[in-house]
Amino acid sequence: MNDLESKIIEIPLTIQEEDVWRVMGAKDRITKELKDEAAFAIKEISRLSDSKAIVKRFKISSVTPKGIKFETGEELVNKFASHLFKGAEEAFFIISTIGSEVDKRISELMIKGENILAIILDSAGTAAAFNSFTYILDKLLEETTSRDLKMGTCLRPGQSYWDITGQTLIFNMLEAKKIDVELLSSSFMKPQKSQSGIVPIGSNLLIQEDPSESYCKYCKASRCPMRIEPYQALKA
């Protein structure tokens, strides 16, 4: 991906039982009585998922204390983002999904009254979506490193530092329909098991993070069952 054209990437599915329990907030207290249900969910995810992403690099024209302006004319007005983008020259825009079939299967199970299976399948789908997004970040880090550039922290709409309406900017920049993802009026994505984000890159990027790390350190939701490390406020 050495040009600025968008690229669709097929993602190999990776999901372990511990990933499902982590999403359910039970990483350290696995419920043996539900192991069969977890195994069923993982098999269903493997059968139904169609994991892929659309990615494109955009050049940055300026970074100010108030936000980031891209050469396309689009602008991200966000002080936190501006802080993380100091020294950035480009940014990756990303949308990934595991497809719509998992959502349909969850609905089918709910209609049949198989609520426990539906809940566990939903958690497995969330885990698969997170893992797919992490796979893309790892690939982008490899590309960025090969260009002798630095890669920063991924910003994702819906976190405490960026309202969910930030999805609009990402969808304005990417042709999400190419991977069958759409933005709803609520600013949520369809299929539900989809992820999006923006990652700064540059030779003089000031703030760098391992993109495979969790986003917990930037989120204030202290009771989130997905939390795996404490919140760490960044000072501007």
Rounded to 5 degrees, φ, ψ at 189 are -100, 155
Classify residue 234 by its DSSP letter.
Answer: P
pLDDT tens digits, one per residue of 112-168:
999 999 999 999 999 999 999 999 999 999 999 999 999 998 999 998 889 999 999
Give the C-alpha separation, 220 to 218, whole Å: 7
Question: Hey, where are the domains in the chain?
Answer: 7-218
Q: Is the pLDDT of residue 47 over 60?
A: yes
The pLDDT, as a whole number, for residue 212 is 46
- What would the pLDDT profile of 218-232 be if each residue is shown by its tens digit? 555 555 544 446 666
Q: Residue with structure tokens 């024209």?
A: 61
> Which candidate, 136, 137, 110, places its Cα nearest to that of 121?
110
Which candidate, 155, 214, 233, 154, places its Cα nearest to that of 27?
A: 214
The whole-number pLDDT of residue 224 equals: 52
28-42, 82-96, 123-137, range with the lowest pLDDT: 28-42
pLDDT greater than 90 at residue 1: no
- Closest to 17 in 3D by CA, of 47, 33, 50, 40: 40
201 dihedral zone (left: phi>0; alpha: psi -120 to 50; beta): beta
Residue 236, pLDDT > 60, answer: no
User: Predicted confidence band at 2 (pLDDT cuts at 50, 70, 90)?
Assistant: very low
pTM: 0.85
Per the prediction, the chain carries an average pLDDT of: 88
CATH, domain range 7-218: 3.40.109.40
pLDDT at 207: 73
What pLDDT does 225 receive? 42
- Look at residues 96, 95, 91, 119 and name the one whose alpha carbon lies nearest to residue 106: 119
DSSP 95-119: EEE--SHHHHHHHHHHHTT-HHHHH
